[in-house]
A and B are shown apart, each in its own frame.
Chain A
Amino acid sequence: MAVDVATQAPPAVPRRPTPNAWGRRLLTAAVLGWFALLILVPTLALVRGAFSGGLAPFWQALSSPDALRAFRLTIGITLVATALNTVFGLAFAVVLVRHRFWGKTLADGLVDLPFAVSPIIAGLMLVILYGPQGWIGRWLESAGVRVVYAWPGMALATAFVTLPFVVREVVPVLREFGVEQEEVSYTLGAGRWTTFWRVTLPSVRWGLAYGVTLTVARSLGEFGALLVVSGNILGRTQTATLYVHDGIESFNTEGAYAASVLLAGVSFVLLIGMETLRKRVEARERPE
């Protein structure tokens, strides 16, 4: 039977299902619930624990000589590791993005190794290499330089664990940045060094700053690698995290809580501060 197509009613457009408001609310609730369970509640519990006796015991716990020494060591190690990773991370990113060399793909993949292996293994590697019986350690020991069970080894371990942050944050920014602005700078008469300081570095500064912030935050909290490398010698190689660890072991919970809150607080403030600053400045430098 021939059907006159023109007289047929157009097929009904399938109606889109009305957005399921309940489904959406449920998803939001589930996500927020999980967030609360995993992050918010434990954080609150920690803060509550730290301040259970009021502000005075909190300060007291933090100002004990052991705690002060531990924090001083942590800050020192963080500074050294961050400085190392800022300079080398930046150089590494530039080489990965701009240069072509044999084994580039391998190097690119290996950058993430510190994220993939447990920090304890990282610590072990350093002990094998720099320990009193290690390949390099043997020589250094005879020259009177102590690496493992001393701060240089701890800084090295921290730098190892936090190596990927700066590289991973800077690489995409540098790639997006391209080379044209640098080329313009050259034609305007600027040398490579001037171009790097005045054109390249300012253009990747937020990526770098973010990488550095993450490096600092992670360095403050590093534990596993330090546990192996430091020997955890009280007053000598005990960092803030090792102090927390000992506090828990020896039922000095007040000290452990206080140090934990301070460590977590600093990291949190760092990240929030960075993000706020970045948003403010980037608003005016947005590419399009």
Chain B
Amino acid sequence: MGIVVRNLSKRFGSFQAVDGVSFEVPSGQLVALLGPSGSGKSTILRIIAGLEPADSGEVELTGEDATHLPAQERGVGFVFQHYALFRHMSIRQNVAFGLEVQRPRASRKEINRRVEELLDLVQLLGYADRYPSQLSGGQRQRVALARALAPRPKVLLLDEPFGALDAKVRDELRAWLRKFHDEIHVTSLFVTHDQQEAFEVCDQMVVLNKGKVEQMGPPQELYEHPASPFVTEFLGAVNVLRVETVLGMDLVGEEMPIPLDIPGAGSNGGPAVYVRPHDFEVTRERNGRPAWTARVQRLTPLGGLVRLDLTLLDGTVLHVQLTRDRCLALGLSGGENVFVSPRDLKVFHEAKAFVENYVI
């Protein structure tokens, strides 16, 4: 195992930042710590790096207990959101720093060779003698990465590494990082609040909420089988419907989409039903499936997709995503009535934290 975290807790004053967190990062994998701000993800990363002491819990790095080791002896590479490059040093000096402070210290020749190798790896060989202020944001972050990797760390920790970059550079650097990781295979844990980023980059994700682990696993699995309403809502846009709305579907003799005996069905505060925007079918005519009658409030073209804002008869607002082609085929425009039916429903039984998928 690359990184093992057991029962980690950390409190800042009256704020419980991390609350009994346990997870593992298999060697060579790239894992995302995903959560909203204040979910404790950066604190966990800092505890693993030894920059912050934990109140309780254990940290293991490549099989060895590191709970009480100082940051200097943990062998972690750390990359900050704002790069934290040494401004008074050239790029070459920045990358060499970690090698120069190692004991025993490698020879000048060896250090130079390693620095060149790393600058080549991050495609910045021609920039060795520049200063950080002379590089772009994306280049600076690559220098930060090279600097972190120079002393051959056991694990690489990245704290919102793309957060300070503008959208285009961010996308490029994400793809680059994924490719880069496939080449060097260093165990990596990176913190992000952006689920899109996590999906794009990581092998596995750990979703955090209020200092606790909500769920972990491969991104697609979490997306398709979220374990809680939080994960469902956090991993992408979703429509939250009341059970009454679902049961009030215009059934016209069809089969019920979901059993009527859902616990709490029909009462206020009962379980909520979740449907992703792309899990709807929109038709002009009834096609025999259970469906709602809905009015098109607004059409928003989003490149290859079109977002529909629909209102049901009971006032519920649905956000639906169709492909541009499907929308053109339907010839939709605002103010019209259509029929809409969900393809996939998720119902959470709060007490049991149990999810059921109803594929209609």
Q: Which residues of A contact B (CB under 8 A)?
A: 180-181, 183-191, 194, 198-199, 202-203, 205, 284-288
The interface-forming segment of B2-10, B26-34, B73-81, B291-299 is B73-81
The number of residues on chain B lying at the interface, defined by a beta carbon within 8 Å of a beta carbon of chain A, is 32
B50 at the interface (CB under 8 A from A): yes
Can you list 30 A-B pairs, Cβ within 8 angstroms, ordered by A? A180-B84, A181-B87, A183-B51, A183-B80, A184-B78, A184-B144, A184-B147, A186-B51, A187-B49, A187-B50, A187-B76, A188-B147, A188-B151, A189-B72, A189-B98, A189-B101, A189-B103, A191-B72, A194-B101, A198-B101, A199-B86, A202-B86, A202-B88, A203-B86, A203-B87, A285-B87, A285-B131, A286-B133, A287-B87, A288-B133
Task: State the Cβ distance, B297 to closest chain A Cβ, in Å.
Answer: 29
B residues near A185, Cβ cutoff 8 Å: 86, 97, 101
B residues near A287, Cβ cutoff 8 Å: 87, 133
B82 at the interface (CB under 8 A from A): yes
User: A181 with B72: in contact, given A187-B49, A187-B51, A187-B78 (CB under 8 Å)?
Assistant: no
Which of B71, B73, B97, B147 has a CB less than 8 Å from the CB of A183? B71
Interface residues of B in 49-73 (CB under 8 A from A): 49-51, 70-73
Interface residues of B in 297-350 (CB under 8 A from A): none
Which of A184, A198, A203 has a CB less than 8 Å from the CB of B80? A184
Q: Which residues of B contact A (CB under 8 A)?
A: 49-51, 70-74, 76-78, 80, 82, 84-88, 97-98, 101-103, 131-134, 144, 147-148, 150-151
A residues near B82, Cβ cutoff 8 Å: 180
User: A181 with B86: in contact, given A188-B101, A189-B151, A194-B101 (CB under 8 Å)?
Assistant: yes
Task: State the Cβ distance, A284 to closest chain B Cβ, in Å.
Answer: 5
Task: State the Cβ distance, B265 to closest chain A Cβ, in Å.
Answer: 52
User: A284 with B101: in contact, given A184-B84, A186-B72, A187-B49 (CB under 8 Å)?
Assistant: no
Q: Are A284 and B131 touching (Cβ within 8 A)?
A: yes
Q: Are B133 and A183 touching (Cβ within 8 A)?
A: no
A residues near B144, Cβ cutoff 8 Å: 184
Whole-angstrom CA separation of A286 from B74 in the bound complex:
32
Task: State the Cβ distance, B76 to closest chain A Cβ, in Å.
Answer: 5
* A190-B101, A285-B131 known, 18 other contacts, Cβ within 8 Å: A180-B80, A180-B82, A181-B86, A181-B87, A183-B71, A183-B78, A183-B80, A184-B144, A185-B101, A186-B72, A187-B71, A188-B98, A188-B101, A189-B98, A198-B97, A198-B101, A203-B88, A285-B88
